[in-house]
Amino acid sequence: MRSILFASFLYITIITASAQNKAVFTVQADKPAAEISSTMWGIFFEDINQGADGGLYAELVKNRSFEFDNPLMGWKITSSTFQWGINFGSEITVINQKEKEATNPRFLRVSMDKIQKGKLGISNEGFHGMGIKKDLRYDFSVLYRQPTSNAIIHIELVNEKGDIIGSNILKPNQTGNNWYKAETSFIANGTEAKANLNIWFEGSGQLDLDMISLFPSDTWKGRKGGLRADMVQMLADIKPGFIRFPGGCIVEGRDLSTRYQWKKTIGPVEERKLMINRWNTEIKDRPAPDYYQSFGLGFYEYFQMAEDIGAAPLPILSCGIACQFNTGELAAISDLDPYLQDALDLIEFANGSPKTKWGKIRADLGHPTPFNLKMIGVGNENWGSQYIDRLKIFQAAIAKKYPTIKLVCSSGFMASGDVFNYLNGELRKMKISFIDEHYYSSPKWFLDNAKRYDSYDRKSSSKVFVGEYAAQSVATTDMNNKNNWRTALAEAAFLTGLERNADIVQMASYAPLFGHIEGWQWKPDLIWVNNLKSMGTPNYYVQKLYGTNRGNYTVPILYKNQQPAAGEDSLYATTAIDKESNELIIKIVNTLGKNQTAEININGASKIGASAKWTILQNNNLEAENSLTNTLELVPVETNTALKGNQLVLDLKPYSLNILRVKL
Ligand code: AHR
């Protein structure tokens, strides 16, 4: 009898304990809460970390137009003529015509005196080498000018060992005082991440060369002179709602003269004036003396890419204040016109009919239909009353000419403190459509701030654009920051709070986007690349899971029948409904290093599917990272789980992001 009593006591104790330990959620599927904007999850592109030149822009030749401050940076002259006295008359010089030609004043002059192949040439090192793929076609082109026709150009791609892995011969045949373009293609017979391009000259006479270029043929959509397909594909896979470009601090410039000027980035590439990249010297521990902006990826290409990947374009322009971390130079209010005009003309460029001046320029570039621009950013991380004074002028002028265009404005470089409070207050008074908040903080900050927007002013017409954020494993701009699971999991948890507050937060983007494994200045970054491939970090997969599981409106998910879970028992949750597929999308993040049993009761839906698609991103080790060379530690895994009536019982793994899709 005693043993029966003891056994039933034990049984009751176990049942009660497990009921207590179970994390019980209640979804109210019939209570639409907030509409989720189609722009909710987007991307932020800046030419930092070799993001454009040497990254997304597929040009393999560095300093192709000899316009770097050091005109031969990236090039080597390979000449045996001077050293050995053979063909002494042959030489290679750089000519600068800046009095006549301001945009692309320099070119190379090759003077040949019966030179033979292998005696006089140039070699380009690419961007930390050139990524070359076996059996792929490479397109070489050059602008040339020669009084008589005689020269032969030998093109060779060599691997790190010096073996030739692709070659061709080009005979420029036009003569006279004009510049011509010569092109040729060849197939590579080897794969190499760090190839160099050698060019040998043969013949006699004078040959002028400029815009020496080599592109792979497998660019995004096969566009000549286009973008690296693997990198664009990574972006497309996120299904981004918007793309913000071209930055970041490069929008503002170190001083006003080095601000990003979109009009100088469209049209023929040889007429796009090259400029030093701000990240060239910005980070003291990672100097990048060869970091320039060729603008081969310019504003037309940005709009085109946005359209290709189905993302709403969000260009950001200078407001007339240079980066306040640098010179903070101001354009006087009376001199603001060119800045203002740039913004107005950009809207016409994007949306105007081909009968307008800038609409015609767009049409002539190949896009007669508008790009459907709906919003524009003025100022990146600007602050102070000078910013507000200038913004008011932009706001009035843009609203007058384009009343439906929404303005995106900065609330500074931190999302708290005096700078933020002042701007946040002023921008709301001005009824600015989107206030751009930036935070680079610790994983703990992200976990602690999952409720940040629960208490935001819901009466204000201004919405939030979380324009730049990333959990920092060490500290902002620290060279040892990592894209580990600790940071990504904290972001995943934090994003539940953005989705739950989708009536307030309507856009969010991780920053920075790309990091080249050798050419980076800032860590962490969403996607890491080398010269041949790209790799999604754990943070990338979090973004991708949110982007591909967006839903159209939120419905409440209560924890223990009370609040939404935003940290209680280390759990974070949000729920949305996808109208098109008629699915309930539940996101639960378990930040505890142990399994947790979750019971989810779905109320308010008359019919529910018998099973749910369950996607899990998980690792027991918070320090785990993905790598370009090894198997990925963190990738989403898909499975299915059965429902019991309207109930899901899940064993949530330690440190996991779980996404469930249930048919309604
Ligand atoms: O994302 C890197 C930099 O961080 C951006 O250029 C700037 O806006 C922010 O300070």
pLDDT at 82: 52
Q: Which ligand 1 atom sits closest to the C-alpha of 511?
A: 1
Is residue 381 part of the annotated active site? The answer reads: yes
Ligand 1 mutation pick, 50, 252, 414, 440, max ligand atoms within 8 A of CB: 440
Tens digit of pLDDT for each residue in 183-218? Answer: 999 999 999 999 999 999 999 999 999 999 999 999
CATH entry 3.30.390.30 includes domain 75-216: no
Q: Which ligand 1 atom sits closest to the C-alpha of 468?
A: 1
In contact, 398 and 407? CB cutoff 8 Å: yes
Say yes or no to pLDDT of 581 above 70: yes
Q: Whose CA is nearest to atom 9 of ligand 1?
A: 248
Instruction: Note the helical H segments in 438-582.
Output: 443-448, 485-500, 538-547
Q: Which ligand 1 atom sits closest to the C-alpha of 467?
A: 8
Contacts of 291 (CB under 8 A, 6+ apart): 50, 53, 276, 277, 279, 280, 519, 521
Q: Whose CA is nearest to atom 3 of ligand 1?
A: 248
Architecture category of domain 20-36+553-663 in CATH: Sandwich (2.60)
Tens digit of pLDDT for each residue in 515-534? Answer: 999 999 999 999 999 999 99
Instruction: Note the helical H segments in 442-484.
Output: 443-448
Q: Whose CA is nearest to atom 8 of ligand 1?
A: 248
Ligand 1 site: residues with CB under 6 angstroms?
A: 46, 48, 247-249, 380-381, 413, 468, 511-512, 522
For residue 71, say if its preceding peptide bond is cis, omega within 30 degrees of 0. no
Residue 537 CA: distances (Å) to CA of 321, 384, 485, 519, 527: 34, 36, 9, 17, 6
Long-range contacts of 265-270 (CB under 8 A, 24+ apart): 265/295, 265/298, 265/299, 265/300, 266/298, 266/299, 266/300, 266/349, 266/361, 266/365, 267/361, 267/365, 269/211, 269/225, 269/294, 269/295, 269/296, 270/65, 270/103, 270/104, 270/143, 270/210, 270/211
Ligand 1 mutation pick, 45, 47, 48, 277, max ligand atoms within 8 A of CB: 48
Distance 248 CA to ligand 1 centre (A): 5
Tens digit of pLDDT for each residue in 409-450? Answer: 999 999 999 999 999 999 999 999 999 999 999 999 999 999
How are strands ordered across the β-sheet holding 312-317?
Answer: 43-44, 242-245, 312-317, 375-378, 406-410, 434-441, 463-471, 505-510
Tens digit of pLDDT for each residue in 108-167? Answer: 999 998 888 888 999 999 999 999 999 999 999 999 999 998 899 999 999 999 999 999
Say yes or no to pLDDT of 88 above 70: no
Helix axes 384-401, 337-351, angle to 10 degrees: 40
- Mean pLDDT of all residues belonging to the chain: 95
Distance 166 CA to ligand 1 centre (A): 40
In contact, 587 and 574? CB cutoff 8 Å: yes
pLDDT at 90: 76
Q: How far apart are CA 434 and CA 505, in angstroms?
A: 9
Say yes or no to pLDDT of 3 above 50: no
Domain 20-36+553-663 identical in fold to domain 43-57+222-477+493-516: no
Of 345, 319, 260, nearest to 52 by C-alpha is 260
Say yes or no to pLDDT of 1 above 80: no
Q: Which ligand 1 atom sits closest to the C-alpha of 380?
A: 8
Burial class (CB in 10 A: 0-12, 13-18, 19+), 139: middle
Say yes or no to pLDDT of 9 above 70: no
The SS3 call for residue 55 is: coil
pTM of the shown model: 0.95
Paired with 663 in beta bridges are 583
Distance 247 CA to ligand 1 centre (A): 7
Q: Which ligand 1 atom sits closest to the C-alpha of 440?
A: 4
Say yes or no to pLDDT of 40 above 60: yes
Domain ranges of the chain: 20-36+553-663, 43-57+222-477+493-516, 75-216
Greatest extent of the chain over all pairs of C-alpha atoms, in Å? 114
Range 309-329 average pLDDT: 97
Say yes or no to pLDDT of 342 above 90: yes
Distance 477 CA to ligand 1 centre (A): 10
Q: Whose CA is nearest to atom 4 of ligand 1?
A: 248
Q: Whose CA is nearest to atom 6 of ligand 1?
A: 248
Marked catalytic residue, from 67, 156, 381, 468: 381
Distance 294 CA to ligand 1 centre (A): 20
Task: Give the chain's length.
Answer: 664
Q: Which ligand 1 atom sits closest to the C-alpha of 381?
A: 8
Q: Whose CA is nearest to atom 2 of ligand 1?
A: 512
Distance 487 CA to ligand 1 centre (A): 18
Q: 20 pLDDT band (50/70/90 cuts)?
A: low
Say yes or no to pLDDT of 4 above 80: no
User: Cα angle vertex 196, ends 191, 198, to 5°?
Assistant: 120
Half-sphere exposure of 474 (CA within 13 A, CB side): 9
pLDDT at 150: 87
Distance 249 CA to ligand 1 centre (A): 6
Residue 184 CA: distances (Å) to CA of 133, 219, 372, 634: 17, 17, 37, 42
Distance 656 CA to ligand 1 centre (A): 29
pLDDT at 99: 87
Say yes or no to pLDDT of 393 above 60: yes
Tens digit of pLDDT for each residue in 50-87? Answer: 999 999 999 999 999 999 999 999 999 987 655 554 45
Say yes or no to pLDDT of 8 above 90: no
Tell the residue number behind the tokens 């943070």, with chain if given: 539
pLDDT at 78: 86
Per CATH, the number for 43-57+222-477+493-516 is: 3.20.20.80
pLDDT at 149: 85
Distance 254 CA to ligand 1 centre (A): 13
Q: Letter for the amino acid at 119? A: K
Say yes or no to pLDDT of 348 above 50: yes
Ligand 1 mutation pick, 438, 509, 513, max ligand atoms within 8 A of CB: 438
Distance 467 CA to ligand 1 centre (A): 10
Say yes or no to pLDDT of 31 above 80: yes
Q: Whose CA is nearest to atom 1 of ligand 1?
A: 512
Q: Which ligand 1 atom sits closest to the C-alpha of 325?
A: 10
Ligand 1 mutation pick, 46, 260, 319, 509, max ligand atoms within 8 A of CB: 46
Ligand 1 mutation pick, 468, 469, 509, max ligand atoms within 8 A of CB: 468
Tens digit of pLDDT for each residue in 588-619? Answer: 999 999 999 999 999 999 889 999 999 999 99
